[in-house]
Amino acid sequence: MSNKFTDNLKAKGNEVKGEAKEQYGKATGDVETQASGTFDKLKGAAQEKMAEAKEVISEKMDDLSQKFEDKKKEDK
């Protein structure tokens, strides 16, 4: 299972790769490479948002689990 660090690293990698491809495409007039770079940048941005969402969900699940355990201890 991936963690926040690796998810963010992959996202940034795609964003950097995309920027490089996009700039190369612009410089050479290669519209296909430019479009591919834009896609990679968008993919990286989406991966970053997914990493953030996974972190929030994980924190909420931990909170719920702790509340459940606390409630079980109270009921004993």
pLDDT in tens, 8-67: 999 999 999 999 999 999 999 999 999 999 999 999 999 999 999 999 999 999 999 999
Give the predicted TM-score (pTM) of the model.
Answer: 0.77
pLDDT, position 75: 81
Burial class (CB within 10 angstroms; exposed 0-12, middle 13-18, buried 19+) of 44: buried
Query: How far apart, in whole angstroms, are the C-alpha atoms of residue 18 and residue 24?
Result: 10
The runs of H, that is alpha helices, within the chain are: 4-28, 31-75
Number of compact structural domains in the chain: 1
Domain containing residue 58: 4-75
User: Which residues have C-beta within 8 Å of that of residue 53, sequence separation ≥ 6?
Assistant: none
Confidence of residue 2 (pLDDT cuts 50, 70, 90): low
pLDDT, position 4: 83
